[in-house]
Homo-oligomer: A and B are copies of this chain.
Amino acid sequence: MNTPLLDQIQTPADLKRLPESELGPLCEEIRAFLIESISQTGGHLASNLGVVELTVALHRVFHSPEDQLVFDVGHQCYTHKLLTGRKKDFARLRKTGGISGFPKPHESPHDAFLAGHASTSISAAYGIACANRLQGRKDYTIALIGDGALTGGEAYEAMNNAGRSKTRLVVILNHNDMSISKNVGAFARYLSSMRSRPAYLRFKRGVDILLKHIPLLGKMMKSWLERSKSLMKSILYPSTYFEEMGFYYLGPINGHDLSELTRTLSRAKELGAPVVIQVETVKGKGYPFAEENPGAYHATAGFDILNGGDNVTMSDCYSNQAGMELTRLAAEDKRICAITAAMKYGTGLHLFNAAHRERFFDVGIAEEHAVTFAGGLAARGMRPVFCVYSSFLQRGYDQVIHDLAIDQKPVLLCVDRAGLVGEDGETHQGLFDAGFLSSIPHVTVYSPEGYGELRLCLEQALKRETGVAAVRYPRGADKHTHSLPASLDYTLCPGSPEMLVISYGRLFSHCWDARKQIEQESFAPSLLKLTRIAPLDEEAVAAASAYPVILFAEEGMASGGIGEQFAARLLERGWKGHYRLQAVRDQFVPQGDVSDLMQKLGLDSGSIAEIIRQEMKRS
């Protein structure tokens, strides 16, 4: 691919040297490169195509790394990576050992703060801005946040705290009317309404300029306006939401117009105080398939550029199976409601929405609210189901305890993307939920393997009249290799009495396969498959305690996980065997192909087989 302008740029300083007339063509090159490159590697397409001009303008006006750019969610940082010397790495984007699809401070000094989850950028940027102020630095800190992420409460907390502070904080509100699902909520409507207030905003800007250019009179008038607690004030000087929060407000401006962007960003620098700039962008800009259907091109596998991708979204996956089963169950039980936090498609709940629209709730990127809201529905006799990715449920941990578990509300948590997720890396791996959910009293946690068992667990969990249940399942398709009947508690597959291998979820199939490999050599250990992982089944523990050697394999953190809990139960029963726990220890798991990661963590069938051999030799 021919990108002569882009190839001249290794640092933002190179970009600043480019004549203004070359910026348009540069953006074209970037766009073409992104489409080409992501069509091959997969990655986040639509959001990155939307912020090409904006990112170029930011790096023209501000001075990274002294001025720090904090990306919210972070998947829209590709142009930023291209402009900071990482073009050559795009062939290994999101691959094992390659560059991350998110900002990573360890990857470049231009990546000011790590991201992956939503709604954190203003908090982080305000922290950086306060540090700058304390250190007497004049640097700017810029948070780039989409309107979707603004539905998250943390962004509001940060706005509330940063408003009227004496910091050089610039919040760029990237308004594209889209989170992963179509954006929802009152605030999204408010932002859209801003677009239609040009007359008001022109008037307001006019007053501002007038006041500024007649220094003495202006100062008097402004001070009079500010002091005056009268009707006049609210008529002559109405405020936007952001102004009420103590920010200057500029915009809305066209996010694909480089000169308007540059002008407005420069204006923001002059203010020297917290400012919000509302920038209107089009997701997928410049690639018709993505412009038409940005949701489908949010995160894609590779695709065919000329024809668009057929396979941009998955269909054979646990998420859709859960969505279908919940839809079916909700037809029978009118109390069942489904909730998503802006992940209608990712969680398979688009199916539920199509069938039971009135009982479907997309609450926006708002996991805390989603959990308590579910508690409210349950308090009045409904049977809510909150479908959420494991790593995002971390946001609702307190609410699961406080608003659901203490009062034993009958709520079902469908914990999607439990376990390793692959290319999204550290921030998205679902390695904590088994531990943090099982630590909460009165929470029952199922970790089914296979669609059949998933359906069984969902159905049973929804039949409970009291208490929180969680059903957790991995990203992607069912690939289980055994033919055990679906169970709700545990399944023991007898083999040699000398050794027992225990696991749960999709990892059980790795143990199953490991046994097959070993079997051909010599020895077949017994296997124990846990479907319910909390509370632990005392019968299962009793059954396990008959074996002198136990290997527990777990796709999750060792610390606080199920394997440790099982070990403690065995000890308390007076068991005196040899125990080996194979799980994730003392590390965050980086990006990579899931099967690569399994191998690295010693959780693939080959590694498990090898551990079995070792342990048998030892004992």
List residues of chain B with CB within 8 A of the CB of A337: 130, 134
List residues of chain B with CB within 8 A of the CB of A119: 153
Asked if A521 lies at the interface with its beta carbon under 8 angstroms from chain B, I say: no
Which chain B residue has the least Cβ–Cβ distance from A588?
B406
Q: Scan residues 367-395 of chain A and give those whose CB is less than 8 A from a CB of chain B.
A: 368-369, 372-382, 384, 391-392, 394-395
List residues of chain B with CB within 8 A of the CB of A571: 567, 570-571, 578-579
Inter-chain contact B403/A114, CB cutoff 8 Å: yes
Inter-chain contact A197/B560, CB cutoff 8 Å: no
Asked if A586 lies at the interface with its beta carbon under 8 angstroms from chain B, I say: yes
- Please measure, in the bound complex, the distance between the C-alpha atom of A563 and the C-alpha atom of B164, giving whole angstroms: 47
Asked if A138 lies at the interface with its beta carbon under 8 angstroms from chain B, I say: no
Which chain B residue has the least Cβ–Cβ distance from A158?
B369
Inter-chain contact B187/A160, CB cutoff 8 Å: yes
- Please measure, in the bound complex, the distance between the C-alpha atom of A405 and the C-alpha atom of B161, giving whole angstroms: 23
Q: Could you give, for residues 566-596 of chain A, a 1 whenever the CB lies within 8 Å of some chain B CB and a 0 otherwise?
A: 0110111010101111000111100000000
Asked if A216 lies at the interface with its beta carbon under 8 angstroms from chain B, I say: no
List residues of chain B with CB within 8 A of the CB of A126: 373, 376
Asked if A565 lies at the interface with its beta carbon under 8 angstroms from chain B, I say: yes
- Please measure, in the bound complex, the distance between the C-alpha atom of A381 and the C-alpha atom of B135, giving whole angstroms: 9
Asked if A545 lies at the interface with its beta carbon under 8 angstroms from chain B, I say: no
Which chain B residue has the least Cβ–Cβ distance from A393?
B398
Which chain B residue has the least Cβ–Cβ distance from A187?
B160
List residues of chain B with CB within 8 A of the CB of A612: none
Contact flag A376-B124 (CB < 8 Å), given A134-B359, A364-B160, A398-B117: yes
List residues of chain B with CB within 8 A of the CB of A113: 375-376, 379, 403, 407
Tell me how far the C-beta of A106 lies from the nearest C-beta in chain B, rounded to whole angstroms. 7
- Please measure, in the bound complex, the distance between the C-alpha atom of A384 and the C-alpha atom of B435, giving whole angstroms: 28
Inter-chain contact B576/A576, CB cutoff 8 Å: yes
- Please measure, in the bound complex, the distance between the C-alpha atom of A198 and the C-alpha atom of B587, giving whole angstroms: 58
Inter-chain contact A132/B380, CB cutoff 8 Å: yes
- A238 contacts which of B151, B162, B235, B241 (Cβ < 8 Å)? B235
Which chain B residue has the least Cβ–Cβ distance from A573?
B579
- Please measure, in the bound complex, the distance between the C-alpha atom of A123 and the C-alpha atom of B370, giving whole angstroms: 8
Interface-side segment among A86-94, A284-292, A436-444? A436-444
List residues of chain B with CB within 8 A of the CB of A70: 376
Contact flag A160-B229 (CB < 8 Å), given A127-B377, A375-B124, A436-B439: no
Inter-chain contact B377/A131, CB cutoff 8 Å: yes
List residues of chain B with CB within 8 A of the CB of A432: 401, 439-440
- Please measure, in the bound complex, the distance between the C-alpha atom of A559 and the C-alpha atom of B565, giving whole angstroms: 6
Q: Could you give, for residues 310-349 of chain A, a 1 whenever the CB lies within 8 Å of some chain B CB and a 0 otherwise?
A: 0000000000000000000000000001000000000000
Asked if A307 lies at the interface with its beta carbon under 8 angstroms from chain B, I say: no
Inter-chain contact B560/A186, CB cutoff 8 Å: no
List residues of chain B with CB within 8 A of the CB of A224: none
- Please measure, in the bound complex, the distance between the C-alpha atom of A143 and the C-alpha atom of B374, giving whole angstroms: 16
Asked if A230 lies at the interface with its beta carbon under 8 angstroms from chain B, I say: yes
Inter-chain contact B128/A376, CB cutoff 8 Å: yes
Asked if A282 lies at the interface with its beta carbon under 8 angstroms from chain B, I say: no
- Please measure, in the bound complex, the distance between the C-alpha atom of A152 and the C-alpha atom of B154, giving whole angstroms: 8
Inter-chain contact A363/B157, CB cutoff 8 Å: yes
- A534 contacts which of B159, B559, B580 (Cβ < 8 Å)? B559
List residues of chain B with CB within 8 A of the CB of A441: 557, 585-588
Contact flag A244-B245 (CB < 8 Å), given A127-B377, A394-B398: no
Inter-chain contact A376/B127, CB cutoff 8 Å: yes
Which chain B residue has the least Cβ–Cβ distance from A198?
B229
Contact flag A439-B246 (CB < 8 Å), given A231-B203, A382-B134: no
Q: Give the number of copies in the complex.
A: 2
- Please measure, in the bound complex, the distance between the C-alpha atom of A580 and the C-alpha atom of B375, giving whole angstroms: 36
Inter-chain contact A131/B579, CB cutoff 8 Å: no
Tell me how far the C-beta of A371 lies from the nearest C-beta in chain B, rounded to whole angstroms. 8
List residues of chain B with CB within 8 A of the CB of A358: 134
Which chain B residue has the least Cβ–Cβ distance from A124?
B376
List residues of chain B with CB within 8 A of the CB of A152: 153, 157
Inter-chain contact A407/B238, CB cutoff 8 Å: no
Asked if A463 lies at the interface with its beta carbon under 8 angstroms from chain B, I say: no
Asked if A561 lies at the interface with its beta carbon under 8 angstroms from chain B, I say: yes
- A164 contacts which of B125, B186, B395 (Cβ < 8 Å)? B186
List residues of chain B with CB within 8 A of the CB of A235: 235, 238
Asked if A366 lies at the interface with its beta carbon under 8 angstroms from chain B, I say: yes
Inter-chain contact B561/A190, CB cutoff 8 Å: no
List residues of chain B with CB within 8 A of the CB of A567: 564, 567-568, 571-572
Inter-chain contact B131/A382, CB cutoff 8 Å: yes
Inter-chain contact A131/B200, CB cutoff 8 Å: no
Inter-chain contact A369/B588, CB cutoff 8 Å: no
- Please measure, in the bound complex, the distance between the C-alpha atom of A382 and the C-alpha atom of B563, giving whole angstroms: 38
Asked if A416 lies at the interface with its beta carbon under 8 angstroms from chain B, I say: no
Q: Could you give, for residues 83-127 of chain A, a 1 whenever the CB lies within 8 Å of some chain B CB and a 0 otherwise?
A: 000000000000000000000011000001110110110011111
List residues of chain B with CB within 8 A of the CB of A234: 197, 200, 238
Residue with the highest number of chain B CB atoms closer than 10 Å, among A116, A123, A361? A123
Instruction: Please give 9 more A-B residue pairs, beta carbons under 8 A apart, in addition to A132-B380, A441-B588.
Output: A114-B403, A125-B376, A128-B377, A187-B244, A199-B229, A199-B230, A199-B231, A395-B398, A441-B557
Can you pick out 28 interface pairs between chain A and chain B where the beta carbons lie within 8 Å of each other? A68-B380, A113-B403, A114-B407, A120-B402, A123-B373, A127-B373, A127-B375, A131-B379, A132-B380, A135-B381, A153-B153, A153-B154, A153-B156, A153-B368, A154-B369, A158-B369, A160-B366, A161-B363, A162-B186, A186-B245, A197-B234, A203-B231, A235-B235, A394-B397, A436-B436, A439-B557, A441-B586, A560-B564
